[in-house]
Amino acid sequence: MKPLKIDITNIRREIAAEQSFDLKWIPGDMTWQGEPLRFRDPWHLKGRIFNEGDVLLLTADVEGNIILQCGACLESYVQDLDFPIEARLKSAPDQENPDYFVYKGNEVDLSEIVLEFLLSELPIRRRCREDCKGLCPVCGANRNDGECSCNGTKDPELTVDERLKSLRDYFSNK
C-alpha cells in the first residue's frame, strides 16, 4: 500500500489550528482475506485535520472505486465507493482506547486510516450489476453473455445428484 503523508508541522503546536487537504491517491493492489483488491483510478480525498490539543481530529470525504469479483458470474467489475471518515489521532498509542490512530512526528499517514474505512465499506454481496444472471449451473457459461451452449437443458446426472442429496440429508438427520 502506498503511503499518503500529510505534513502537520504548521498545526502541531497550535490548538484549534487546522490543515486542509485535497488529494488524489492510488492505494496500490493488495490481498485482503484471501481476495485480491485492485485499484485502477486515483481516489479523491478531501478533508481537514484539526488540532484539539491532545488529539488530532481528522474528517474527510473519500471517493473512488475498486475492482472486485462478482459473486455470481465471477467476472471483475468496478465498484464505486463514497464515504465519510472521522478519526482521532494521538502521537503515541493509547492503551485504554485502541480506537485512536497514531501519528509519528510531524506527519500523518492517511493510508492506513483510509484503508480501514474502505474495507468496512466493501459490499458483502458483490454483483457486477443488480440483475447479474450468474453462471449456468449445468455448463458453467456466463449467462450474461446470452444463451449458453447447453441451452438450459437439464443434465440428468445433476437431477439424480439432487435427489440423492436430499435422500442422504434425510437419513443423516435420523
**Segment (H or E) for 110:** helix 110-121
Residue 48 or 143: which CB sits closer to Zn ion?
143
Q: Which amino acid is at 98?
A: P
* Smallest gap from residue 8 Cβ to Zn ion (A): 43
Alpha carbon separation from 148 to 57, 69, 79, 132, 133 (Å, rounded): 55, 21, 27, 15, 12
Touching Zn ion, residues 125-164 (CB under 5 A): 128, 132, 136, 138-139, 141, 148, 150
146: CB partners within 8 A, 6+ apart: none
Helix, strand, coil percent content, the chain, rounded in steps of 5: 20, 35, 45
* Count of positions (residues) in the chain: 174
* Smallest gap from residue 98 Cβ to Zn ion (A): 38
Q: How many residues bind Zn ion (CB under 5 A)?
A: 11
* Smallest gap from residue 154 Cβ to Zn ion (A): 10
Other Cβ atoms less than 10 A from the Cβ of 148: the count is 16
143: CB partners within 8 A, 6+ apart: 73, 133, 134, 135, 136
* Smallest gap from residue 119 Cβ to Zn ion (A): 21
* Smallest gap from residue 169 Cβ to Zn ion (A): 26
Build a one-symbol-per-residue string for 10-49: x at contacts with Zn ion by CB under 5 A, - elsewhere. ----------------------------------------
Residue 81 or 150: which CB sits closer to Zn ion?
150
Build a one-symbol-per-residue string for 51-90: x at contacts with Zn ion by CB under 5 A, - elsewhere. -------------------x-xx-----------------
- Chain residues binding Zn ion by CB under 5 A are 70, 72-73, 128, 132, 136, 138-139, 141, 148, 150
